[in-house]
Amino acid sequence: MSKKKSKNKTVFHGVEDMPVAAISEGDMSWNKTGSWRNIRPFYDEKTSPCIAGCPAGTDIQGYIQLMLDKKYEEAVRMLWQKNPMPSVCGRVCYHPCTEACARGEIDESINIPSIERFLGDYAIDHNLTETADGDPKPDNGIAVVGGGPGGLSFAYYMAKMGYPVTVFEAKEKLGGVLQYGIPEYRLPKDILDKEIARITGVGMTVKTGHDVGRDVPVDDLEKYSACFLAMGLQRSRALGIDNEDAEGVMAGLSFLKSVTAGNPTDLGKRAIVIGGGNTAMDVARSAIRMGTDVEVVYRRTRNEMPAIEDEVEEAMAEGVKFTFLATPVGIFTKNGRITGIRAQRMELGEPDDSGRRRPVPVEGSEYEIETDSLLVAAGELSDTEAFENIVKLSWGLVVTDDAGQTSDEHIFAGGDVVTGAATVIEAIARGRKAAKFVDAKLRGVVGPETDEKQVITMSDINRAYFTPSRQVPTTHIALGKMKNRFAEVKQGFGEDEAQQEIERCMSCGVCNGCDICWMFCPDAAISREDGIYTINYDYCKGCMICAQECPRGVISSEREGT
């Protein structure tokens, strides 16, 4: 008891003077119980698993919290800070965020793709635009070669920081694989074009129809302060068998280009698609939309297919036939036109470098399949000959370090031309990372700061606070019910569905102002002001009830005196 209090101590003369219960006259703030503490709790926000799962580190938890307050514009602007293409990614991404979502360990993961798509489309519907927010840079400018997702991501972040950016795109339109590879039923062109228009609207010079190395001399790039190569993969890998030049045999990418251009190549009654990746699925599903019987022939099994699981399931639902453990070894022709293939049965042997079991031919198992066309989607190759003497290449791919730096100090690279066939979100991530690095380098400062926080795990989540609930599913339109067979298959969320789904977000590792710590602190040592909680260590006894109760593992602890 403090001295002051001792002096003013109430004196009781006898039992009749006394109150019936021990109740203090004043408050107990003189009793600084913090001295009893040997463990110190502290607020320590962590990274949500969804964010850690996204190659671009999109702040999914953050934008969901804003969406809960219906601050959709703020939410989408937060999203753009890591990924400028939510309408695209909400539709075509393989969503590793959802795979990582901790909610999946309680009931079902959050349907992040549909939420992301809702936000992206909100920006489009509301004509949200962006401007550069960095100071204009007195600079010779930045050149970007290739206007696919990687190049556009890099160009966007450089332009946002105030750099003059010029994008060279060999084709007529920007978008790369999004424009010429991914069919309309997955990614409608008007959505893509609007999202790209917003990106270029930040302020950049776009030169379409400019193929660097053919229309533009490679040497011209030297006049820029820095250059970013993101040409992607241009060519389908050939099978290397006889008669591959027969009429009716074509590269999967060429077929997709004809489809996306609205002028699809006639495939006849039957088509065989070779391959098990996303391009093969796009080819097969586009072909079946033209009324062709489609059979995918893949040399391994379904388990080894690199395609997104959803795409395979939808292809099957739409009637694409699959033949696993088979590979074409010859092409039959008549009058220079394909009539069928000779296929060989395979079996799985030892694992190869990719960890997948290697397909091994089964002797004497060859058989014939009749077909009117053969679409080859067994991998894509780069087209980097023009850069052979400028940057170091390996198997046709540009060699870079982690930040995108090539062997030439002024040249950086990203996207599939660096990684080989990868994903849209990885290309976007590399584009942004390289932009941050190039900016730091041009300004002569040390590389961009990294803010690596601990990733939260399910063991940090207090399950008691989360009642099991079902995911709000994405609606799919069956092919048989479509008038326009290239209309979008997956339907987006309305606001109600989006709100219903984001309510399920546990905000793992990040405080969302739920008040649980504040309510539970037995010493009233936690105060709350403007949604910020503060622990008063004069009174915190270190009971750790706050940390135990926190539904989302925000509060960490350390031993006093360490």
Partner 1 sequence: MKKIVIEGNHAVSYGAKAADVDVIAAYPITPQTQVVEKLSEMCASGELNAKFIKVESEHSAMAAVVGSSAAGARSFTATSSQGLLLMHEILHWSVGARLPIVLANINRAVGPPWNVWTDQNDSLSQRDVGMLQLYCESNQEVFDTMLHAFWVSEQLMLPSMIILDAFYLSHTCEIVEVMDADEARAFLPPYEPKHFLSPEKPKSFGNLTTPDFYYELRYQIDRDLRKALDLMKEADDRFEKLYGRSYGIIEEYRTDDADMLVVTSGTVTSTARTVIDELRDVGKRVGLVKMKLFRPFPTEDVRRILRRAEKVVVIDRNIGFSIGGIWAQEIKAALYNTNIDVPVFGFIAGIGGRDVTPRVIKEIIDQAEHMDVPDQDVYWIGVKNEQLHHTR
Q: Work out which of 5, 8, 18, 129 binds partner 1, going by CB under 8 A.
A: 18
- Residue closest to 166 by CA, chosen among 145, 150, 136: 145
Tell me the two tokens of residue 207: 């030169």
Q: At its nearest, how many Å lie between partner 1 and the CB of residue 181? A: 55
**Is 23 among the residues that bind partner 1 (CB under 8 A)?**
yes
Q: Which is nearer to partner 1, 11 or 446 (CB)?
A: 11
| Pairing state between β 490-491 and 393-394 | unpaired
Q: Work out which of 7, 20, 190, 219 binds partner 1, going by CB under 8 A.
A: 20
**Is 21 among the residues that bind partner 1 (CB under 8 A)?**
yes
**Is 15 among the residues that bind partner 1 (CB under 8 A)?**
yes
Q: Which is nearer to partner 1, 23 or 446 (CB)?
A: 23
Q: What residues from 518 to 537 belong to the interface with partner 1 (CB under 8 A)?
A: 524
* Beta-carbon-side half-sphere exposure of residue 163 (alpha carbons within 13 Å): 27
Q: Work out which of 2, 28, 242, 245 binds partner 1, going by CB under 8 A.
A: 28
CA distance 463 to 140: 55
CA distance 88 to 74: 19
Q: What residues from 31 to 90 belong to the interface with partner 1 (CB under 8 A)?
A: 31
**Is 350 among the residues that bind partner 1 (CB under 8 A)?**
no
- Main-chain phi, psi angles of 377, to 5 degrees: -135, 55
How many CB atoms sit inside 10 A of residue 488's CB?
Answer: 17
Q: Which amino acid is at 200?
A: T
Q: Which is nearer to partner 1, 42 or 466 (CB)?
A: 466
* Element spanning 561, H or E: none
* Element spanning 351, H or E: strand 337-351
Q: At its nearest, how many Å lie between partner 1 and the CB of residue 500? A: 24
Q: At its nearest, how many Å lie between partner 1 and the CB of residue 516? A: 16
**Is 27 among the residues that bind partner 1 (CB under 8 A)?**
yes
Enumerate residues 6+ apart whose C-beta is below 8 A from 464.
551
**Is 133 among the residues that bind partner 1 (CB under 8 A)?**
no
Q: At its nearest, how many Å lie between partner 1 and the CB of residue 32? A: 14
* Beta-carbon-side half-sphere exposure of residue 392 (alpha carbons within 13 Å): 9
* Element spanning 218, H or E: none
Q: Work out which of 22, 38, 334, 354 binds partner 1, going by CB under 8 A.
A: 22
Q: At its nearest, how many Å lie between partner 1 and the CB of residue 18? A: 6
DSSP lists the bridge partners of residue 534 as 527
The CA distances from residue 407 to 73, 242, 347, 404, in Å, are 41, 39, 41, 10
Q: At its nearest, how many Å lie between partner 1 and the CB of residue 550? A: 18
Q: Which is nearer to partner 1, 332 or 520 (CB)?
A: 520
Where do contacts with partner 1 occur on this chain (CB under 8 A)? Answer: 12, 14-15, 18-29, 31, 524
